[in-house]
Amino acid sequence: MRKYLCAFLVFGVSACGPEGSIFDDIFHDASKVHGPGTYRLSDSGVRCAQAPCPTLRVSSVSSHTEFLVSEIEFPAGMPQNTRQQATALISTPDGLVVYGAPRGQGDGRVFVVQSLMER
């Protein structure tokens, strides 16, 4: 019985994930899987006891691609008040629309914002 459970877990997990394999998100850099583009950032509803925590849902505006990230990296020259206003939009029904790309792997994935898009 134990070997059947192990086989189910191995083959069952490999069929999960947005592109048919959960291993794409675990073992590859996110920027190679999901390139730069226009994305909508919203609250994922996930809450954790320790970091990193994938609290942000990122969905591509041009496709049905969706993944989770733990934080946002804004451009260094962006004023603090603009960052705060942008971050506040994440919890709205329409979310925050940005141009950028994810970086990293797994729960520690970060979304690097290159520019904010107008609503």
Q: What pTM was estimated for this model as a whole?
A: 0.68
Question: Is the Cα dihedral 97, 60, 105, 14 positive or negative?
Answer: positive
Sketch the domain layout of the chain as residue ranges.
Answer: 28-116
Topology of domain 28-116, per CATH?
A: OB fold (Dihydrolipoamide Acetyltransferase, E2P) (2.40.50)
Q: Give 3-29 pLDDT, tens digit per residue.
A: 554 444 444 444 444 444 444 444 444
pLDDT of residue 28: 42
Contact 97, 119 (CB under 8 A): yes
Instruction: Strand 110-116: give its sheet, edge to edge.
Output: 66-69, 56-60, 37-43, 96-103, 110-116, 71-73
Beta-strand runs (E) in 15-82:
37-43, 56-60, 66-69, 71-73
Q: Give 65-92 pLDDT, tens digit per residue.
A: 889 999 999 999 999 999 999 999 999 9
